[in-house]
Amino acid sequence: MRRGLLTTGVVTVLALAACSGGGRDKSDADDSGGGGNAPGSSGYTVAFITHETPGDTFWDKVRAGAEQAAKDEGVTLKYSNDPDAAKQAGLIQSAVDAKVNGIATTLVTPDALAGAVKSATAAGVPVVGLNGGIDQYQKLGALMYFGSDETLAGESIGKRIAGQGAKHPLCVIHQTGSVALEARCDGVKSAVPGTENLQVNGADDSAVTTTLQAKLAQDKSIDYVVTLGAPIALDAINAKQQASSPAKIVTFDLNQEIAKRIKAGEVVFAIDQQPYVQGYMAVTSLYLYLKNGNDIGGGRPVLTGPSFVDQTNIDKILPFTEKNTR
Amino acid sequence: MRRTLRLLARPEAGALAAAVVIFVFFLAVAPSFRSLAAFCTVLYQSSTIGIVAVGVGLLMIGGEFDLSAGVITISAGLVNSMFCWYFGVNMWVGAALSLLFCLAVGFLNGWLVMRTGIPSFLVTLGTFFVLQGANLGVTKLVTGSVSSRDVSAIDGFDSLRAVFASSTTAGAATIWITVLWWVLFAGVAGWTLQLTRIGNWIYAVGGSAGSARAVGVPVVRTKIGLFMVVSFLGWFVGMHLLYRFNTLQAGNGVGNEFLYIIAAVVGGTLLTGGFGNASGVAIGAFIFGMTSLGIVYAGWDPNWFKAFLGVMLLLAVLVNTYVRRLSAGKAA
C-alpha cells in the first residue's frame, strides 16, 4: 500500500515535471557581450567602486555596463561595493594601495569620500565619478562625471505630468533617509506644488501594496502615483486595482517587467537614467584618458538621463530590458 | 468576579484591550478607516505578518527565536520560481521542492540549536545571513539579475495562485485567502497548545527545558518541530508573495523577522518562553496591521510613520503589561 502510494507520487511528479512552457527560453544561449578582447590586454586595471546595497536591480545594469566596457577595451575590472560610506572610502583607499591605473567610484556621500579620493589623486591615480555626487565631483578632484541629476530628473517627471493635468501626485519613498530619493520627490514637487510624499517599507511587497492601497482610499484626489524604483511601480499597479483608483502610475527606473507594463498601458511612462551607460562610460572614459589623454564632458558632468520610456519608444527598448542592459 | 479575573490573567487580555483602544482611536481620527474595505485591507496586511507570527509565537513559547523567518519567505518563493523558470517545469513541482527546502532549513536551525547548545538567536542569525546572501547570489547566477523572472505563463501558476493568493470581492471589500489561512493556522495552533499533549510539551520546554526533560518530554523533537513549523509557515507566506506578485526581489524580506517577534510579544508572549497563546499572537499581528495602515488612513505626515508605529507598539506593550500585572495582583 505504502509503496503503491509512493509510486503514484513519483509518477505524478514526473508527469508534472514534463516540460511546460513559459519558463526560460532555452534556445536563447548566453549571448551577452560576445567577442571583445582578452581581459587585461590593454594592460590597464580599473577599480570600480559603488555604494550598491546588494539586491537592487539597478546596480546589475551599472555593473553589466562596466563589465562590457572592460571586455571591449581589454581592461581588467575590479568591482567592489559597500553601502556604508566609511567602508566605501576604505575600498577606494585599498584600490590606491593596490596601484590600479584608474578608479571609477560613486560619490553619493562626498564628504565621507573626500579623503580617500584626495589620496588617489595625490598618488597620481585618475578618478572619475558616476551616479551620485554631481555637484561635488570637481571639488573632490575627480576628472569626469557620468550620471543623472536626481532633482532635475524629478523636475522632468513633474513637468511632464503637470502637462498632463496632474494636481495632486503621490511620491512614494521606499527607503528611509535617502538623500537621492528625497531629491527626486523634491524635484517633482517643484514642478507640481500639490505633490505629497509617502513612506513605504520597500523590503516587503505586500506592505508596499497595502500602504498604497490605504493611501489611495484615504485621499481620492490623488491623480498620479510617482514611484522611485521599478519594483515599487509593480506594487502600485496592484494597489491601484485593489483601491479601484483612477490614479495614473509613472516611475523612475526601468526593468523588464515595467517595460511590459508600459507596453500594456498600465504604467504611463518610466524615466530612465541609463545605469548601463553610467557603468560603461565610467570605464571607457578612464580608458581613453589613460590611452589618449582624453577628457569627456568639457569640464562638465555628462548626463546619462533622464531618458523617457513610454508607448512611443517601448517597442525599441523592450528587447534591451530583456537582456538586462536597460 | 473570579471568572473575569481569570479572563484578565490570560496572555491575550492585554493585547485585546490594546487592540480595542487602537481600533477606536483610528475610527475616531481617520474617516477613511471607517469602511469595510479598509477593514479588509487591514486584515490582509495583518495576515501577511500573522501567518508566520503564529509559528514564531509557538517557537517563542517553546523558548527559542528564529531570526531567519523573514528572509526564508523570499527564499521559498525564489526556489520555486527559479527552479521552474530555469527548467521549465510545472510550478507545483517547484512549490513541493521549495517546501522540502524550507523544512530542511527549519530542521537545520533546530538541530544546530539542540546539538550545539548555542542560543537560537545566534544560530538563526547565521542562517539569516546565509539565506540573505544565497538569495542574492543564486538569483544573480540563475536569472542574471537580482529579481526573479516572470513565471505567470508556466503551467500550475493559476491553480497555485488560487490556493495561495486568490481573493473574493463582496461589494467594495476584498477578502484575501491569506486571511482565511491565517485564521485556520491560528486556530490549529490554539487547539494544539490548549488541548493536546504536544501543546503541554511546548509550554514545558519553554518554561524549563531541564525539568521538562526530567518528566519525560521529548525536548529535542519538540523544539526541532517548532523550528520546522516556523519554516513551513515562512514557506506558506513565500508562496503567497510569489503567486501574488509573480516576480520577487532577492533582497526583500529582511526586517520582517522582527515584525513577527513584535506581533508575538504584543500578543502577550513572554520573551523568556513558557507563556503566551495563539489568539494573543493573532491579535498582536492585527494590532501591527491596524497601526501601520491606520497612520496612512489618518493621512499623517509619512516622515513620522516609523515614529508613530513605535509609539503605538510601545503603548500596546505597556497596556498589555499593565493589565496583566493588575490581574495577576488581584488574583494573588
Distance CA B223, CA B207 (A): 13
Least confident of B9-13, B189-193, B273-277: B9-13
Distance CA A231, CA A233 (A): 5
**Residue A141, Cβ neighbours under 10 Å: how many?**
15
- Interface membership of A18 toward B (CB under 8 Å): yes
**B37, B86, B140: residue with CB nearest A23:** B86
Task: Show me where the domains of chain B are located.
Answer: 2-331
Interface touch B296/A207, C-beta < 8 Å = no
- Interface membership of B149 toward A (CB under 8 Å): yes
- pLDDT tens digits, residue range B93-130? 999 999 999 999 999 999 999 999 999 999 999 999 99
The CA distance from A244 to the nearest CA of chain B, in Å, is: 9
Report helix, strand or coil for B227.
helix
- pLDDT at B226 (0 to 100): 97
Helix axes B12-29, B305-331, angle to 10 degrees: 140
**A20, A257, A260: residue with CB nearest B155:** A20
The CA angle A225-A231-A236, to the nearest 5 degrees, is 30
Identify whether the C-beta of residue A251 lies closer than 8 Å to the C-beta of residue A237.
Answer: no
- pLDDT at A255 (0 to 100): 86
- Interface membership of A114 toward B (CB under 8 Å): no
On the question of pLDDT at B293 being above 50, the answer is yes
Q: Which helix (H) or strand (E) holds B163?
A: helix B157-164
- Interface membership of B263 toward A (CB under 8 Å): no
- Interface membership of A238 toward B (CB under 8 Å): yes
Q: Which residues contact A207 (CB under 8 A, 6 or more apart)?
A: A200, A201, B45, B48, B292
What order do you get walking across the sheet with A127-130 strand by strand? A76-81, A45-50, A102-106, A127-130, A144-147, A302-303
The CA distance from A135 to the nearest CA of chain B, in Å, is: 26
Distance CA B242, CA A257 (A): 15
- pLDDT at A32 (0 to 100): 45
Distance CA A213, CA A190 (A): 25
Q: Which residues contact B171 (CB under 8 A, 6 or more apart)?
A: B36, B37
- Grid coordinates belonging to A124: 597620481
Identify whether the C-beta of residue B22 lies closer than 8 Å to the C-beta of residue B290.
Answer: yes
Interface touch A23/B84, C-beta < 8 Å = yes
- pLDDT at A14 (0 to 100): 55
**B136, B144, B297: residue with CB nearest A218:** B297
DSSP A272: E
The confidence band for B7, taking pLDDT boundaries of 50, 70 and 90, is low
The CA angle B126-B132-B137, to the nearest 5 degrees, is 120
Distance CA B111, CA B120 (A): 10
Contacting B residues, span 220-239, partner chain A, CB-CB under 8 Å: none
Distance CA A21, CA B85 (A): 9
- Interface membership of A178 toward B (CB under 8 Å): no
DSSP A149: -
- Interface membership of B80 toward A (CB under 8 Å): no
- Interface membership of B279 toward A (CB under 8 Å): no
- pLDDT at A34 (0 to 100): 46
Strands B173-176 and B167-170: antiparallel
DSSP track, B305-331: HHHHHHHHHHHHHHHHHHHHHHHHHHH
- Tell me yes or no: is domain B2-331 CATH 1.10.3470: yes
Minimal-distance CA residue of chain A relative to B48:
A206
Q: Which residues contact A129 (CB under 8 A, 6 or more apart)?
A: A104, A105, A106, A107, A137, A140, A142, A144, A145, A146, A147
- pLDDT at A12 (0 to 100): 60
Sole residue written with cell 510539551: B201
Q: Which residues contact B329 (CB under 8 A, 6 or more apart)?
A: none
User: Comparing C-alpha atoms, which of B287, B245, B250 is closest to residue B266?
Assistant: B287
Interface touch B245/A201, C-beta < 8 Å = no
Predicted model pTM: 0.82
Residues on chain A touching B144 (C-beta within 8 angstroms): 32, 60, 324
Q: Which residues contact B273 (CB under 8 A, 6 or more apart)?
A: B60, B61, B62, B63, B64, B205, B206, B207
Distance CA B160, CA B153 (A): 12
Q: What φ, ψ does residue B298 adopt, rounded to 5°?
A: -75, -15
- Grid coordinates belonging to B290: 491596524
**Residue B303, Cβ neighbours under 10 Å: how many?**
14
* Numbers of helices and strands, H then E, in chain A: 12, 12
- pLDDT at B75 (0 to 100): 97
- Grid coordinates belonging to A291: 590611452
Minimal-distance CA residue of chain B relative to A13:
B93
What is A45-148+274-295's CATH number, 3.40.605.10, 3.30.1330.10, 3.40.50.2300, 3.40.1160.10? 3.40.50.2300
- Interface membership of B258 toward A (CB under 8 Å): no
Q: Which residues contact B331 (CB under 8 A, 6 or more apart)?
A: B5, B6, B8, B9
Please tell me the number of Cα atoms within 13 Å of B131 on its side-chain side: 33
Distance CA B214, CA B217 (A): 7
Q: What φ, ψ does residue A196 adopt, rounded to 5°?
A: -120, 140
- pLDDT at B332 (0 to 100): 40
Cα-Cα-Cα-Cα dihedral of B221, B223, B225, B230, to 10°? -170
- Interface membership of B166 toward A (CB under 8 Å): no
Residues on chain A touching B245 (C-beta within 8 angstroms): 205-206, 234-235, 238
Cβ contacts below 8 Å, chain A against chain B, sum to 158
Distance CA A157, CA A188 (A): 6
CATH topology of domain A150-272: Rossmann fold (3.40.50)
Q: Give whole-number Cα distances, A235 to A208, A251, A296, B146, B248, in Å.
A: 6, 12, 39, 17, 11
Q: Give whole-number Cα distances, A133 to A113, A184, B148, in Å.
A: 10, 14, 31
Tell me the β-bridge partners of B325.
Answer: none
Q: Which residues contact B156 (CB under 8 A, 6 or more apart)?
A: A16, A20, B84, B90, B91, B92, B93, B95
Q: Using only C-alpha atoms, what is the Rg of chain B?
A: 20
- pLDDT at A37 (0 to 100): 61
Local confidence pLDDT in tens for the 326 residues of chain A: 455 555 665 556 555 555 567 777 765 444 444 455 666 678 899 999 998 877 777 888 999 999 999 999 999 999 999 888 889 999 999 999 999 999 999 998 888 899 999 999 999 999 999 998 888 899 999 999 999 888 889 999 999 999 999 999 999 998 877 778 888 999 999 999 999 999 888 888 999 999 999 999 999 999 999 999 888 999 999 999 988 899 999 999 998 889 999 999 999 999 999 999 999 999 999 999 999 999 998 889 999 988 999 999 999 999 998 888 88
Distance CA B120, CA B67 (A): 9
Sole residue written with cell 538586462: A324
Residues carrying CATH 3.40.50.2300, chain A: 45-148+274-295, 150-272
Average pLDDT over residues B41-60: 95
Interface touch B302/A257, C-beta < 8 Å = no
Q: Which helix (H) or strand (E) holds A280?
A: helix A275-292
Average pLDDT, chain B: 90
**A207, A214, A235: residue with CB nearest B38:** A214
Contacting A residues, span 188-207, partner chain B, CB-CB under 8 Å: 197-199, 201, 203-207
- pLDDT at B331 (0 to 100): 46
**A32, A215, A260: residue with CB nearest B296:** A215
Identify whether the C-beta of residue A122 lies closer than 8 Å to the C-beta of residue A146.
Answer: no
DSSP track, B62-90: TT---TTHHHHHHHHHHHHHHHHHHHT--
Interface touch B93/A198, C-beta < 8 Å = no
